[in-house]
Chain A
Amino acid sequence: MNAVSSMIDTEGLPAITAAEYAKFCEFFYRKTGIQYQVNKKYYVDRRIAERIQQTKSESFRDYFTMLRFEASGEELQVLINSLTVNETYFFREDYQFDALVTGILPALAKQKRRGDPIRIWSVPCSSGEEPYSIAINILERWDQSDSWNIEIHASDIDSKILAQARAGRFCERSVGRVSPQLLSKYFKPKIAGEYQICDELRSSIEFSLVNVVDPVQTRRYRDIDIVFCRNMLIYFDDAGRRETMEMFYECLAPGGFICLGHSESMSRMSSTFLPRKFKDVIVYQKPGEQE
């Protein structure tokens, strides 16, 4: 019996001790900003154990060494892909899209110079439902959309889900809230149970792999007018949330807006943004030039 087989759980996967789990969580937090508590041990353990098996590592220690020192970072990316949650659908929390087209964009149009682009960043974009929902809402419901160049950038830390977003193929459940009229306008006829978003939308969104806690990767994002960052920060601790908000502050143009998920409040993360209310929706605005 070798070292691996002496430490396997009842399902035949390598067992991970509490100390190893704590060590892994600390490392993963530093790399991604995502924090796992003890109550997530079963979820995380299973995924690490599967990767230990699939990489044919001898033990957690071997696998962890590879994870930390692999120059390409390939295994870390695979593990990130397996640990991140990507549950979403079209027009999720659509009251924010109402605020976007009836409040935020008209407010921006007043403060921006004609000819300058309006830049929107959806992060994390998961399998693409959010950036495509933003695009459809703007085209369908903002009467000034033809007068502006609107850029939509969409980013995620998970390379696999990003490829899916780029491909733009969605299942029945994902498009459940899209009306038949919009389905026929923006999607190709259903093939093999999937709806394919039209090429015009697919090619108008810039997708990119971004880890929000990596300052080098986020440095390119400047003069953003609207950030959609929904339901990501719930996985971060206080310090991670605060640092992420400072990164967004840096990325946003003066007067730019940030939209958070319904259970996320800026008050516990940063005092540098100003709350703005559009109908019943609260979003947050970076102050203008004079601070």
Chain B
Amino acid sequence: MALVKGKLPECDGAPRDLSTLLGALASPESAVRRNAVRDLKLYPDSAEALCAQLQDETSPSVRAALFSTLIHLQSPHVAVRLAEFLRSDDVQLRNGAIEALQEMPDAIAPHLQVLLGDADSDVRIFAVNILASLRHDQVPEWLAEVIRTDAHVNVCAAAIDGLAEVGGPEVVKDLEALRLRFAGDAFMDFAITTAIRRIGSE
């Protein structure tokens, strides 16, 4: 025995049709579902079914494949559907949605204002987390808008973190104004000083 030259099976390269793949999403086998999810990258019309699947899917590897396929098929509609999971109590689902939304700047950008105005401060914090890592040239201005307008200290703190990474000298006056707004809050004072120092040193 020892080394032998192995032959892998030849595979049919033809893609499966949409209805076959959608049917496979109901399979009890996670490998079958995962395989179908990966092949659905070819079908933008499957996005809604994939979002629905995400709600009920329990297998981590199928979930990971769902997020990847949805990133591939990204659209404003997919972004809105994924943003719904920011309210989920399932931490993995919520974090997966945040990471996926960070990968689709153009799709989520139109919806960010809605998320930043959400009544739930946790949703606004997640929106700031998404915003801070988007590859979009308006990010510093959007984050500055958050610290100018949001009343919640934790939302503003999340925005300061983002500005420390991507902000320029033009946001320093907004950071100083925020310091006055939360005067007496030692953490905010420290975070603002750190952010201004980082912005100034770059």
Contact = CB atoms under 8 A, between A and B. Distances in A.
A13 B1 CA distance: 55
Nearest to A220: B8
A119 to B, nearest CB: 6
Interface residues of B, number: 28
A38 interface: no
A139 B3 CA distance: 8
Interface in B1-48: 1-11, 13, 30, 34-35, 38-39, 41
Given A250-B38, A291-B30, A151 B1 contact: no
Contacts of B6: 117, 119, 149, 151-153, 206
Contacts of B71: 239
B9 A220 contact: yes
Given A206-B5, A239-B71, 12 more contacts: A119-B6, A138-B2, A145-B2, A151-B6, A153-B8, A215-B39, A238-B103, A242-B64, A249-B34, A249-B61, A250-B34, A270-B64
B8 to A, nearest CB: 4
B4 A204 contact: yes
Contacts of B117: none
B59 A219 contact: no
Nearest to B61: A272
Interface of A: 117, 119, 135, 138-139, 145-153, 200-201, 203-206, 215-216, 219-222, 238-239, 242-243, 246-247, 249-250, 270-272, 287, 291
B3 A152 contact: yes
Contacts of B123: none
Contacts of B5: 151, 203-206
B4 A151 contact: yes
21 contacts: A117-B4, A145-B1, A149-B6, A150-B1, A150-B2, A150-B3, A151-B3, A151-B4, A201-B3, A204-B5, A206-B6, A219-B13, A220-B10, A221-B8, A239-B71, A239-B103, A242-B64, A242-B68, A246-B34, A249-B61, A291-B30
Nearest to A134: B3
Interface string B48-65: 000000000001110011
B8 A291 contact: no
A220 to B, nearest CB: 4
A139 B4 contact: no
A31 B37 CA distance: 20
A238 B133 CA distance: 13
A148 B9 contact: no
Contacts of B3: 135, 138-139, 150-152, 200-201, 204-205
Contacts, number: 91
Interface in B151-182: none
Nearest to A254: B31
A60 B79 CA distance: 36
B18 to A, nearest CB: 16
A9 B30 CA distance: 55
B103 A146 contact: no
Contacts of B92: 271
B8 A148 contact: no
Nearest to B96: A271
Contacts of B68: 239, 242-243, 246
A246 B65 contact: yes
A146 B2 contact: yes
A163 B150 CA distance: 61
